[in-house]
């Protein structure tokens, strides 16, 4: 059993970190940083004084981590987007065109490689950032989806011959790809920033999971037989992954 009791944020220097606090069946306090937020897990029997003290300790803990880790601090910085920004995705150049308007919802379209987005004039800075990432991802993902489907189908036909229900492109920071229980292959749009041979590695990786669900020796033998230098692709993602983003 897990219950969210607080949904808040803390400020470290000039950045804001969303904080989620949960109560659950556990004996200790656990604080982790997941993607763009901090999660605090507390024992279910904690009272208000213990909760307050634990949150204070967690805030000091995360401040210390961020002060000594530039990469971690960068993860929480809010990117500023402006019209004329250029995006080079999958070998194609896109140009961002932003227009502030007295509207309540964001509107976006892709017109001749120009990403046109109407932004509510009164939108919050973090909300705007998240919306612009999502919309850029969605529009360019739709643009490249037919190509990605064909490449995955070609690899499947050549090496695997498994039954794929569908292929989806969506924004995801927790992984580069996954295979669902419904036999869908999900690919992060962030992978579109990687070289195509690195993309192929992720496609092969996910296709191999149709044969071997876990990362056993047999799984890696399958991947290696198709792409002997797959470790180089993994190394590229590890080294350059943080740069692959909108």
Residue-range domains of the chain with CATH: 2-76 (no CATH), 86-243 (3.30.2010.10)
- Whether the CB-CB separation of 35 and 173 falls below 8 Å is answered with yes
For residue 19, the model assigns a pLDDT of 86
- Gap between the Cα atoms of 9 and 59, Å rounded: 10
What DSSP string runs through 44-90? TT--HHHHHHHHHHHHHHHHHHHHT-HHHHHHHSPPPP-TT-EEEET
In this structure, what are the phi and psi dihedrals at residue 241, rounded to the nearest 5 degrees? -50, -45
Q: 146: burial class by Cβ within 10 Å (0-12, 13-18, 19+)? A: exposed
Please state whether beta strands 107-111 and 2-12 pair in parallel, antiparallel, or not at all (unpaired). unpaired
For residue 80, the model assigns a pLDDT of 87
Per-residue tokens: 126: 């973090």
Per-residue tokens: 141: 């993902």
For residue 173, the model assigns a pLDDT of 86
Angle at CA of residue 124, ends 36 and 86, nearest 5°: 70
In this structure, what are the phi and psi dihedrals at residue 52, rounded to the nearest 5 degrees? -60, -45
For residue 1, the model assigns a pLDDT of 67
For residue 161, the model assigns a pLDDT of 96
- Gap between the Cα atoms of 240 and 245, Å rounded: 10
In this structure, what are the phi and psi dihedrals at residue 11, rounded to the nearest 5 degrees? -110, 130
Compute how many other C-beta atoms are within 10 angstroms of the C-beta atom of residue 63: 15
- Residue 94 pairs in a beta bridge with 87
For residue 78, the model assigns a pLDDT of 78
Per-residue tokens: 134: 């999502």
Q: 187: burial class by Cβ within 10 Å (0-12, 13-18, 19+)? A: buried
Candidates 111, 114, 170; CA nearest to 145 is 170
User: Coil, strand, or helix at residue 135?
Assistant: helix
pLDDT tens for the 246 residues of the chain, in order: 678 777 878 777 777 788 889 999 999 999 988 767 889 999 999 999 999 898 889 888 888 877 777 777 777 777 889 999 999 999 999 999 999 988 889 999 999 999 999 999 888 887 899 899 999 999 999 999 999 999 999 999 999 999 999 999 999 988 999 999 899 999 999 999 999 999 999 999 999 999 999 999 999 999 999 999 999 999 999 999 988 999
């Amino acid at each position: 059993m897990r219950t969210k009791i607080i949904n808040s944020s803390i400020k470290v220097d000039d950045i804001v970190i969303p904080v989620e606090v949960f109560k659950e069946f556990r004996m200790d306090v656990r604080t982790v940083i997941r993607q763009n937020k901090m999660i605090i897990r507390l024992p279910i029997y904690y009272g208000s004084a213990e909760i307050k003290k634990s949150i204070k300790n967690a805030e000091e803990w995360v401040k210390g981590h961020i002060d000594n880790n530039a990469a971690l601090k960068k993860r929480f910085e809010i990117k500023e987007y402006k019209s004329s920004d250029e995006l080079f995705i999958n070998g194609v150049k896109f140009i961002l065109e932003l227009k502030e308007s007295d509207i309540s919802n964001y509107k976006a379209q892709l017109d001749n490689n120009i990403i046109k987005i109407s932004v509510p004039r009164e939108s919050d800075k973090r909300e705007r950032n998240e919306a612009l990432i999502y919309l850029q991802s969605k529009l360019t993902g739709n643009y490249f989806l037919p190509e990605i489907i064909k490449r995955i189908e070609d690899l499947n036909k050549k090496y695997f011959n498994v039954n794929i229900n569908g292929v989806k492109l969506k924004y995801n920071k927790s992984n580069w790809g996954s295979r669902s229980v419904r036999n869908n292959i999900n690919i992060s749009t962030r992978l579109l920033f990687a070289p195509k041979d690195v993309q192929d590695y992720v496609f092969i990786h996910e296709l191999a999971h149709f044969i071997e669900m876990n990362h056993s020796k047999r799984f890696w033998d399958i991947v290696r037989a198709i792409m002997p230098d797959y470790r180089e692709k993994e190394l590229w993602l590890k080294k350059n992954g943080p740069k692959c983003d909108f």
